[in-house]
Structure 1
Amino acid sequence: MSIPAFLLNLPRVHKRWISVCADVVILLGAASLAVSIRMGDWFWPLGDYIWAVLLLPVLAIPVFITQGLYRAVIRYIGIKFANTVFFSVAAVFTLWTAAIFMLDLAYPRSAIVITWLLALLMIAVTRFFARRLLFMHNTSRAIKSQRKKVVIFGAGSAGRQLFQAIMKIPEVYVVGFVDDDKDLQGQIISAARVFSREQFSDLLAKYNVTDVYLAIPSIGISKRREIVDWLEPYPVRVSTIPGVDEIISGKVSFSDIREVDIADLLGRDPVAPREELLNRCVLNQVVMVTGAGGSIGSELCRQIIKHKPSTLILFELSEFALYSIEFELRQAILAGESDVQLIPILGSVQDAEHLQSVMQRYGVETIYHAAAYKHVPLVEYNMVAGLKNNVFGTLNTAEAAIRCGVKNFVLISTDKAVRPTNTMGASKRLAEMVLQALSERELKKGNAIRFAMVRFGNVLGSSGSVIPLFRKQIKAGGPITVTHPEITRYFMTIPEAAELVIQAGSMGSSGDVFVLDMGEPVKIVDLARKMIQLAGCEVRDEKNPNGDIEIVFTGLRPGEKTYEELLIGGVVKQTDHPMIMCASEEMLSWPMLQEVLSRLQQAMDNLDHPQLRNLLNEVVSGYRAESAIVDLLKPASVNLSRLKLA
């Protein structure tokens, strides 16, 4: 058995006694050697100086014990321990010097300083030398063991604290740090060496590294994406510590490591919001959110209460969704984030009387209309239900708002409303047209209500997003199902989308259609590959038949487009906000649209699906159905075994 292994296996009390004995020898040796250095020649025996020499460890050991020098674990010592050694030795030599003078002991006065320097150096060096031996022993043992080998990317304060946390976990071994700072590369920090990116492949091969932890909480999304792209060729799982804002707020600690979420890479560096826009339709007002329990609706509620409305009405069809968001918001209110009055209302936007009674009872001033059926294949299989909810539900809510004197009405729309190939997209464009027509009608009447529509693409992590599905498929070992190799989508994080919706809803004049800057579109197959890589797996394909997870193409679902657009006519103007544009779209007057809606209602009542599609073709610009009518209430409409929902 090697000496490091022998020492590691000793009981803790025995290790402390060895440290005490070593310090006694060091102190006696330092005091004796200092005399010889002072005399300029070997001075032995010490004669009368022996009493001062023997007094030094007698005074020092109790001080060292009280200062915790023997409680420190050698493997984990760092800068803080070096400070403890310095101040402990300084205190000891202050006492020793005072004792020599008070007891009038024989000892060269200038040798006291030499003894102090020698003792400080030797005590510190022995500790750090022992740590180095143990580190080398642990490295050798870790290479041979089954412990998870990890590399920490980032040798700053976050990386060092993460290292200290991991050192307490016996199943994990930190091989070292990787950092782009050339001043740090090659240094030993917290017993681990800092490497450059160029050395990472050697680390991977030598230590069989399986995980990389990103300890850079303050960097932007673009930089994080660049690092993950650099790691993509390597078969490692990439995880991260929380963002610096979460750490500062105390919600999480540095030891809370999680896998890098694809949202961390698809999002964008935030643009500072304009507070006056966030407050304009919210501050001290009665605000109502329809579909308050949905992905967008719930995030709207979270952001709205931060801007202090007097009352927030949560209008939701699903009992469980309403309970969940109300409970969450009440917890936030109790935590002191807001003192808003919270009103949970169960109801459907298809119930016009119920909508009007709620608005009248509470004096609603602003409405964010997020209630909608948004799942493309499901709405395609349920055309009538989709049109009732998305078109006539919007009409009911808007008419009730007009009758109740609501000041601001903001519709949450979608990029699928642009040249739609499906009923869901067509229904959302028709909902936009309803508000455009009502806006024109009310302006002629002199009504002050302001209608705004906000159009954007997919949000990350929503109930209809592919990302939760991909996560489940990866967890199950695959395969990942993608409908088409060329299918492309825009993505935005839910908080960013909600924040921009609130700001856009406060801009412009009634009837404006706002389009959010969605950034660059993303191929879904590339998204799938990235998620597989982030999970530490490899794609199994023709080039890599031994990979872990296969990507399977299942074919486009009913009504699904390979790409999405945000503009119909291409005419757009910039607003005061860099992420919000205003589109100029075609519209129908209210009398013309009213006649279309009457025909649409009649076709719905008769379950006349061909007529429904004809009306959508007639009214919605660019509508082009790319699948046969597959509504489940149409006689012999579809083979149930072939339904494609996911």
Structure 2
Amino acid sequence: MSAAARWLQLPIDLTLVAIAWWLAFWLRFNLDTPDEFQAMMLSTLPWPLLGFGFSLLAWGVYRHIWRYTSVAELTRLVYGVAFAGLLTTAAVLMLRVEFFPRSVLLLHPMLALLLLGAARTSARLLLGKRTQPASFGKPLLLVGSVQDAAAALPALRGARLWSPVGIVSPIANEKGRTLQGLQVLGALSELPHIAERTHAAAALVVSAAGSHARREALVCASEAGLPLLTMPRPDEWLRVAAGQPRRIELEDLLGRAPVALDEKGLSELIAGQTVLVTGAGGSIGSELCRQIARFGVARLVCVDVSEYAIYQLEQELREAHPQMQGLYYTANVREPERLLAIAQLYRPAVMFHAAAYKHVPLMESLNEIEALRTNVLGTLNAARVAGTLGMQRFVLISTDKAVNPTNVMGASKRLAEQVLQAVAGEFPATRFMAVRFGNVLGSSGSVVPLFTQQIARGGPVTVTHPDIVRYFMTIPEAAQLVLQAGLMGQTRQIFVMDMGEPVKIVDLAKLLIRLSGQTEQDVPIAFTGLRPGEKLYEELLANDETTEPTPHPKLRVAKGADTAVNAAEVVQWIHAAGPAPQASDTRAWLRSLVPEYRSAP
């Protein structure tokens, strides 16, 4: 609407104010205004016109376009009319108009509000309908409750690419209800039929992040063969055009609320300090480095055995944080002298130990001794360096596979936790703690990169078992909770993360296929059977453990039997085992130190 057209609103409004003034007199005298009061009505008319003109302009009523009138604009109009009524009343009373009917002063603002509001509502209905094409976008189904759909509809109304045609709700008693002209067409189980009937081109999943309904909606929508969309997260609104729907991304499969961090506490812990990260080139280690850099670390010492990984990290951090002093070392945590020499140069206040072998099948066969040398001896070496130099904190990145382990990798990480607790007794000045969590979505060695490669090749996507489930979290979420645990943790504590609801791997495979724009007919899923040492489900707590709450809702402390180990004997056995011990001997020794470890002899 042009500026000239917008200013035509004022004469229209003043005409309606005059009509309301006449109606107020007319109603006051029972639909028959005497002649003398008609003259009074005309003589006093300039005052309500002036009062309303001034008040409506002052309240910014004409900044809004009538065809887009909403509750906010009507609310502003109410304030403007109320203020104008007060001005008119004051003017009439000050003029001391003889025999003026006081009830007119009460009736007029109500009638004026009714007429002005009706004009705007009519403009929205008529002009909006006239300018909107009959079919202005692809048909879109909203998948979620009526409440969730209501939050998404305002952004969709201004879109031209998508046209909502109905709602599919997980709540049974919502079927048949309507929301702003959209009907709830049925339940999630009916989605394939509804999609066919409405010729929907896509499904917009509007269920709340982190809810079971969202997970169910994603699975059902993928089974219906529809492309999956979602509304952008708050942090994406500046990057996603006009806040319009976007494709479901990997992180949306979890959809949990962002981690709430103690920003002040972490700044006090990290800002201006020196921090050392082992395994810095890995998925978790590199994200830890990004988060640590964000909190203003003065000097970040990055250690990784992979030359390529540490080079990539160096390039990224130098560009993103040019003010930070970054030191990038290729070193192996299995060499304590090298690690100690690096740490002595910079005297870090905090060390995060992320270096580890984590691939279960690789460590289960042919490489058992390598898991012990890196995961156990590497942890012992790093922890003793931290204690020797009097660091404030040492944080071990552990895993849910350390709970009731059924494989060598999990047993080695559980033994690493026990070794850490033994070192904590040697160096009371340093806080030693461990953080357990499950699979990290998209990390190297996880199923997601494997599935992505298999989908790119046209399949099949290999899943070991139709009922296998895993806990997942995003890499930034995992790294942030590690930092939070490092801030609040006391020595010898083992933290357990809230991993949310477990995800069926077969559902994850289906969703990734859908994200690629294909179906299971295009990319089949094949079940290959459980691999050696693999569980159907993961646990975050051993049978004899309980948890205690912490100030952070997503972190709990595992409390259980403190199984002491003799660190010197651990070192002696691993060194004595040599480069190629018998696998049965390795497993038998692990069972002697980790009683909950169960595997084939």
- Cα contact 1:48–1:106 (8 A) shared by 2: no
The alignment status of 1:83 with 2:64, answered yes or no, reads no
Distance 2:478 2:296 in 1: 19
Post-superposition CA distance 1:436-473 (Å, at most 9, x none)? 56875896x88877765554431234233334555687
Residue identity matched to 2:536: Y
Q: Give ranges in structure 1 of 5+ residues lacking alignment.
A: 1-10, 335-340, 542-548, 604-610, 627-646
1:121 Cα deviation (Å)?
1.0
- Cα contact 1:277–1:502 (8 A) shared by 2: no
**Structure 1 residues 52, 433: CA separation in 2 closer, same or farther (over 3 Å shift)?**
same
Matches within 5 A, 1:508-523: 521-523=502-504
Residue identity matched to 1:356: L
The alignment status of 1:355 with 2:316, answered yes or no, reads no
Distance 1:44 1:175 in 2: 56
The alignment status of 1:242 with 2:233, answered yes or no, reads yes
Q: Give ranges in structure 2 of 5+ residues lacking alignment.
A: 551-555, 592-596
- TM-score, structure 2 length as denominator? 0.69
CA RMSD of aligned residues (A): 5.8
**Structure 1 residues 103, 408: CA separation in 2 closer, same or farther (over 3 Å shift)?**
closer
**Structure 1 residues 93, 251: CA separation in 2 closer, same or farther (over 3 Å shift)?**
same
**Structure 1 residues 428, 352: CA separation in 2 closer, same or farther (over 3 Å shift)?**
farther
Q: What is residue 28 of structure 2 aligned with on the other side?
A: 38
1:600 Cα deviation (Å)?
2.9
Q: What is residue 553 of structure 2 aligned with on the other side?
A: none
Q: What is residue 345 of structure 1 aligned with on the other side?
A: 328
The alignment status of 1:553 with 2:544, answered yes or no, reads no
Distance 2:500 2:105 in 1: 69
Residue identity matched to 2:280: A
Matches within 5 A, 1:491-570: 491-494=472-475, 497-498=478-479, 501=482, 521-530=502-511, 540=520, 550-553=523-526, 555=528, 561=534, 563=536, 565-566=538-539, 570=543
Q: What is the aligned counterpart of 1:412 among 393, 397, 401? A: 397
Distance 1:197 1:530 in 2: 24
1:128 Cα deviation (Å)?
0.9
1:237 Cα deviation (Å)?
3.0
The alignment status of 1:29 with 2:42, answered yes or no, reads no
**Structure 1 residues 167, 479: CA separation in 2 closer, same or farther (over 3 Å shift)?**
farther
Q: What is residue 382 of structure 2 aligned with on the other side?
A: 397
**Structure 1 residues 32, 344: CA separation in 2 closer, same or farther (over 3 Å shift)?**
same
Distance 1:517 1:562 in 2: 20
Matches within 5 A, 1:87-98: 87-90=79-82
Distance 2:533 2:187 in 1: 46
1:289 Cα deviation (Å)?
2.1
Distance 1:58 1:447 in 2: 82
Distance 2:570 2:125 in 1: 83
Q: What is residue 445 of structure 2 aligned with on the other side?
A: 464
Distance 1:62 1:269 in 2: 47
Distance 1:325 1:298 in 2: 10
1:348 Cα deviation (Å)?
1.5
Distance 1:63 1:439 in 2: 73
Matches within 5 A, 1:64-79: 69-79=61-71
- Cα contact 1:288–1:312 (8 A) shared by 2: yes
Distance 2:427 2:14 in 1: 94
**Structure 1 residues 455, 433: CA separation in 2 closer, same or farther (over 3 Å shift)?**
same
**Structure 1 residues 18, 160: CA separation in 2 closer, same or farther (over 3 Å shift)?**
farther
**Structure 1 residues 107, 416: CA separation in 2 closer, same or farther (over 3 Å shift)?**
same
SS at match of 1:169: coil
Tell me which moved more, 253-262 or 119-128. 253-262
**Structure 1 residues 74, 159: CA separation in 2 closer, same or farther (over 3 Å shift)?**
farther
Distance 2:9 2:459 in 1: 55
**Structure 1 residues 440, 167: CA separation in 2 closer, same or farther (over 3 Å shift)?**
closer
Q: What is residue 608 of structure 1 aligned with on the other side?
A: none
**Structure 1 residues 186, 50: CA separation in 2 closer, same or farther (over 3 Å shift)?**
farther
**Structure 1 residues 105, 438: CA separation in 2 closer, same or farther (over 3 Å shift)?**
closer
Q: What is residue 315 of structure 1 aligned with on the other side?
A: 303
Residue identity matched to 2:75: N
Matches within 5 A, 1:136-175: 141-142=133-134, 144-147=135-138, 149=140, 151=142, 163-173=153-163
Q: What is residue 125 of structure 2 aligned with on the other side?
A: 132
Residue identity matched to 1:26: L
- Cα contact 1:454–1:504 (8 A) shared by 2: yes
Q: What is the aligned counterpart of 2:558 among 573, 577, 580? A: 580
1:370 Cα deviation (Å)?
0.5
**Structure 1 residues 69, 497: CA separation in 2 closer, same or farther (over 3 Å shift)?**
closer
Q: What is residue 408 of structure 2 aligned with on the other side?
A: 426
Distance 2:208 2:402 in 1: 39
Q: What is the aligned counterpart of 2:351 among 367, 372, 382? A: 367
Distance 2:350 2:258 in 1: 26
- Cα contact 1:56–1:96 (8 A) shared by 2: yes
**Structure 1 residues 620, 419: CA separation in 2 closer, same or farther (over 3 Å shift)?**
farther
Distance 1:61 1:570 in 2: 76
- Cα contact 1:395–1:431 (8 A) shared by 2: no
**Structure 1 residues 349, 435: CA separation in 2 closer, same or farther (over 3 Å shift)?**
farther
**Structure 1 residues 236, 554: CA separation in 2 closer, same or farther (over 3 Å shift)?**
closer
**Structure 1 residues 103, 354: CA separation in 2 closer, same or farther (over 3 Å shift)?**
same
**Structure 1 residues 587, 33: CA separation in 2 closer, same or farther (over 3 Å shift)?**
closer
Distance 2:129 2:376 in 1: 70
**Structure 1 residues 167, 68: CA separation in 2 closer, same or farther (over 3 Å shift)?**
farther
Residue identity matched to 1:117: M
**Structure 1 residues 210, 619: CA separation in 2 closer, same or farther (over 3 Å shift)?**
same
Q: Percent identity?
A: 31
**Structure 1 residues 476, 67: CA separation in 2 closer, same or farther (over 3 Å shift)?**
farther
Q: What is residue 255 of structure 1 aligned with on the other side?
A: 243
Matches within 5 A, 1:616-635: 616-617=586-587, 619-621=589-591
1:369 Cα deviation (Å)?
1.3
Residue identity matched to 1:242: R
1:355 Cα deviation (Å)?
1.4
- Cα contact 1:76–1:164 (8 A) shared by 2: no
Distance 2:404 2:85 in 1: 84
**Structure 1 residues 594, 102: CA separation in 2 closer, same or farther (over 3 Å shift)?**
closer
Q: What is residue 594 of structure 1 aligned with on the other side?
A: 572
- Cα contact 2:138–2:200 (8 A) shared by 1: no
- Cα contact 1:377–1:559 (8 A) shared by 2: yes
Q: What is residue 469 of structure 2 aligned with on the other side?
A: 488
- Cα contact 1:82–1:124 (8 A) shared by 2: yes
Residue identity matched to 1:127: R
Distance 2:249 2:362 in 1: 27
Distance 1:160 1:493 in 2: 28
Distance 2:222 2:11 in 1: 52
